[in-house]
Amino acid sequence: DADVTQTPRNRITKTGKRIMLECSQTKGHDRMYWYRQDPGLGLRLIYYSFDVKDINKGEISDGYSVSRQAQAKFSLSLESAIPNQTALYFCATSDLGQDGGEQYFGPGTRLTVT
């Protein structure tokens, strides 16, 4: 079984709709992240959480919100989706370790806003 899972894997939604992307992990890591990836651009951090009570904005948090329901679960919401939020979204986890806290990524959610 995958250590980091994301649901749904693909989603098509209309402008103005509220949607939620979910992430679960079985790695036991405290740190979780949400990124978006657009063609020709690097991964951009949306939000991150270092533990259940800690939520921090990343580089591009406008238009997004998150919820850390448990150590293993971190959800990303788009309050009112717009077409330029069409992207590939990744959840990741990490813990400080031998390799300096490498991040483990989920399989991604491909979101299309029409």
Partner 1 sequence: GQNIDQPTEMTATEGAIVQINCTYQTSGFNGLFWYQQHAGEAPTFLSYNVLDGLEEKGRFSSFLSRSKGYSYLLLKELQMKDSASYLCAVRDGDYQLIWGAGTKLIIKP
Q: Which positions touch partner 1 (CB under 8 A)?
A: 40-45, 48, 58, 90, 99-108
Residues 6+ apart with CB under 8 A from 55: 47, 48, 49, 66, 68
Phi, psi (rounded to 5 degrees) for 42: -75, 170
Give the three-class secondary structure for 84. helix
Q: Least distance to partner 1 from the beta carbon of 108, Å? A: 6
Q: Least distance to partner 1 from the beta carbon of 63, Å? A: 20
Q: Least distance to partner 1 from the beta carbon of 54, Å? A: 13
Give the three-class secondary structure for 85. helix
Comparison of 40 and 62: residue with beta carbon closer to partner 1: 40
Comparison of 17 and 55: residue with beta carbon closer to partner 1: 55
Comparison of 16 and 28: residue with beta carbon closer to partner 1: 28
Q: Name residue 11's beta-bridge partners.
A: 111
